Every structure is written in structure tokens, then in C-alpha cells.
Structure 1
Amino acid sequence: MSIDGPPLDANAPSGGSEPQAVGERGGSQCDTVGIVGVGNMGGGMAGRLLSLGWAVQACDLVEAKVQALVAAGAQAAASPAAAAQGATALIVCVVDASQADDVLFGAQGAAGTLQAGTPVLLCPTIAPEDTERLAARLDALGLLPIDSPMSGGPQRALEGSMSLMVACSDAAADRAGPLLQALSSKVFRVGTRCGDGARTKLVNNLLAGINLVGAAEAIAMAERLGLDARRTLDVIEQSSGQSWIGSDRMRRALEGDYEPRAHVTLLQKDTRLAVEAATRAGFQGPLGSAARDVFAQAADAGLAQQDDAAVLQVIRAA
């Protein structure tokens, strides 16, 4: 699932000055889409496609999630291979690279079932090197890999207003253009090199993590200074300290609502991956590693499965 707020309203291809919508050069509509991983974000995308009349073959380890989509018109798929059977596009929306590997190339993997020329959307937030590796294997099979991590949360996925950070060949963009446009009104073509979508997502999520930790620190400080935390947040939201994720999470935290919309483990993973990617590139910033450490502390404190708003508890304890 994604943890970020509203995206921008532009599409920018790599290396050009003029915005370009993905698929604007043409491409036939994919009428049957296999989706493996129909949790918060995958389920939102499936619901979006079903509402627009697309056929969806849904696969997930949690049967209840699949059945909820079956009630909305989807067809249940017992395995990734079954989800890919007859599909003209495949969406992989799992948690990590290991799961993506298994979905695509495992014993019941989807890649061997798909016909050559089929677009495969890689949506997990994973290391760019893993995205590149998966894309190379798909390309070797004649498939069309699309590095397409997402941002915006499940409601925006359902509404079609989440952002997609797309890196792929022009051929893949053409073939999957109608699908991408159906999934989101905010498709960003960040490049032609698979892996650049993953890099963009890590940059975004590192800033989201920094903003969230900063908001938690500010609210904990306000409480320690004897201020009304809710009133202070009112001020912040109309002033220079405002951030979408800070407002969203701190509002819930101040009500004691830690029901998980985005588990602590997600930003724990994403900030770690972002700092690792920065290190490999020879870059070390002052804030990313600090934010990473706070999410690691939250997980170590037993908050891993709570909403990431729970970082306020860690900052308060400090």
C-alpha cells in the first residue's frame, strides 16, 4: 500500500521539455487484466477497473480479499498463473521483491503463461536493482515490463486519482496506455529505463517518512511545552510547517486511532531502501537515516503492525 498524499497534475517524460501522456500515441485497450495482490492498493485498482467495465482476474493469498472482488464482478484466480491465463495485461501488486519473484517466476508463476508482448506492471516499492532484474527477465521472455510504483492510498486507487510513476519502453507505454489511463488520471512518465520508477518512489517515500517523523516531533514538542496539540496542528496546517502526511497521521494519532491504513513496516522498509539506494549512489543526507531509524525503533517497540501514525508514540517516549 502507498503512504503518500495527493500527487502533482503533470506528466513529464525523461529527457524532454513537453509533458506527454502515457499511451498518447495509441495502443489497443487491454480488456482482461490479471491482478496478483489485491490488498489495499491492488484491491483499489481492481475496483477501479471493474467500475469502468474491464474484466479482472484476481489472485491473493487472502481468500476474503478475492471474494470481495468476485462480489463486484471479478473472477477468482487460484494462482498467479491462473490470473495470467488469457490476460492481456498483468499487474503485480505485492509487498516485496521476493514475493514479486515468486509471483512471476515461481512454481505457479505468471510469466510463463503470458503471451509475448503482454504488459506487466511492477507496482511494489522495491530496490531499483530488483526492479531492473525482474524487468530483464520479463524482457527476455518477450514481455513488456513496466516499472510503475504508485502513490496516494487505497481510496485514490479506487477513484483513479492515485499517481503512477512509470518507467518503460515506448512500446510498453503504447501497449499499456489505455490501462494506465484507466488506473490513474496522474500518470508520470519518469523515463524509459526500468528502475527509474522505483528510484522516484524511494525519493518520494523518503521525504514522506521525513515529513511524518518531523510532524510527530513537532506535536510531541508542543505537548511538552504545554500547548494544545490539536490547536497547534490547526495552526501548522495553515502555516509553513504543513505537510499532507503530517496532518493525516497526526490527526489520527491525537485521537488514539492506530488502526492500520499503512503499517509501520512499510515506511520502515521504504526509508531503509531509500537510504541504501542513496548510499550506493554516493549520497548521504542529514535526515533520511534519522527517519529510517525512527521507523526501525517503532518496529522494535512492537508497533510494526500499527498504523505509521504510531511514530508519535516513539517520539513521545523519547
Structure 2
Amino acid sequence: MSEPRTLNIGLIGAGRIGSSHAELITRTVPNARLVAIADPVEGAAARLAKALHVPAAYTDPARMLADPAVEAVVITAPARFHAGLVEQVAAAGKAIFCEKPAGMTLEEIDRVHRAVEANGVLFRIGFNRRFADGFPQARAAIEAGRIGTPQLLRSTTRDPGLANPAAVAPWTIFLETLIHDFDTLNFLNPGARAVQVHAAADALVAPDFRDAGLLDTAVVTIRYDNGAIATAEASFSAAYGYDTRAEAFGSAGMVTAGDLAASSMRYYGSEGIGIDTVRADTQSMRGAYTGELQAFTDTALGHRAPGPGVGAARDALRIALGCIESCRTGAPVTLDALDAVGAAR
């Protein structure tokens, strides 16, 4: 009897999320093997590779892509490099898992689509909430008609801290934080398409950085072509922990998903009832990160598993870009018009 196939993975980007993904691939995805890590920061890949007993480390991602032992690549580099890296990995003929966003503009996303199609490679985008406990179950209930017609949807991301406001690039709250919520809302409104967005955002956590372009608090209203109205909100300063929740309300009921409790333990004392909460996405979403990496690995090995691709990446990004335009103008933005502008460039 032959041994089960294992997927040899290379990782680009040895930062916070890259380190977390590398550890998960090594320890929680049984049919995956991390064989190489690349990061242009001198010593970053080597340190992570040594800690996880990964055999190869590179400062040049191109050298890693030339390694015949690498069959698939996980991209966790800074977002501004994602589209270019996807093109390079696709040209090398390797399966791709890319953290969000896949590009910073619709033109970049369309380049990603062309590269993936031209080279016939697998592409998956890291929208982890599709794999977080409660979210796929909520989607299944919606698809089964248990809430009737979707009418009101909500998704929330509240991050527990803003350690260095100066390091946060303008529009991060839409392009890298709320983009998860936009995908969640799309996921919980299956078959519908966002047609209009209206965004309000400000620097309420670190107001001294407002003039530098930092936005740390935002609320977005989204209208869909099936009539549903959705809201997404984000804050970079939740004192009580890392908070990601969603709900979908319809004509026949409601589903909710997300819980920031670190365990089912509840403390009952003289001061009241208390619970321990998760304090980071790498803690809260550990199971979701494992799930999406497992699904990617299974699909790359020929065992088809569900997962978001280029279409989902584009659908979420167009909402994020609409939010940026809405903040600039103070008015609602029609997304079809945004699509037309992108296509004309």
C-alpha cells in the first residue's frame, strides 16, 4: 500500500502572520511539509527555518521558486507585494495560497486572474472566516432557507491594540482589516452582489495620526442587488480582546457566528460573571487558519475542497475600494461605476 501524498510547500514572508502560518503548516496540516522559507529581510527566513526545522531558507523568493522541491507557495509578504508575487509563483507553475488582499487595485486583481489562468495553477485567497467555527454553519443554514430572504447583515472586526500607529498605511482599515468583513458579508449573502457602499471613518484611537492618513475606526453600509442591507464596522482598539462576529437576519429567522471567549469557562464571583477572551487573531483564528491551509493542501493534491479564489478576492476588494472613494467624497459610491473606471484604465 502506497504512502499518502504530501505537498511540499514554500512560504514567502517570515513576519507575524508568516511565522504563524509556517508553524501551522509544520504542526497541524498532516499532508503538508514546509520545505523552504523566503524573506528579503536578512536573517528572517533563516531564523524561522531553524526554529521549525525547515531545510531551506532564502532571501530571494526567485531562488526558492526555482527549487524543484517546492510544489506550492504560501504568500504572507506585505500586501503591496501580493500581486507581483502571485504572478511570479504562477509563472513558476506552482499552486498558490495568498493572504488577503490579492492586489491593491482592481487592475492588480485582474493581472492575478490572468496569471493564474494562463499558467493553469490553483489559487486560493486567505479569507479565514469562511473556515472559522460557526461561519460555514451559518452559510449552510442560509443556503437551506432557514432564515428566509436575507434582509439585514452585519460583520464586525475589533482589534485589541494599535501598538504603532505610524506603521499603519493609509486605507489599511479597508484594504486589510474590513476586507475580511466584506468577504464575510458576501459569503453570508450567497448569490447576491454588492452594488453600493457608503463609508464613514476617522482616527478616534490615535487622532494625532489623522493627518498622516491613519483611519482606525470605520462603519460601512453596503447595499446588495437582492435588496439586503449590510453593515461592517472596525476598530483598532478593543480593550476586551480580539472580536470578530457576524449575523444574518432574514424574513424567517437569524443566524449569528463568532465568539471571542477563549474557552467555555465562566467565572462567577462577588464582582459578577467573567470570561477570558482571545487577544490576537493568531489565537482566535488558529482553527480557521489551519482549515484554510488544509483545504488548500487537499485541493493541490487533487482532493477538491471548498475555498475562495480570485472571484472572491475581487468581490471583496471592489467594496474596499468603494469605501476609499466614499471617504474621499463623503457620498455613497455605486460599485458598477467603480468597475467601469477600473476597466477603462
TM-score normalised by L of structure 1: 0.44
Instruction: Report the structure, 1 or 2, having the larger strand content.
Output: 2
Instruction: Report the structure, 1 or 2, having the larger helix content.
Output: 1
TM-score normalised by L of structure 2: 0.41
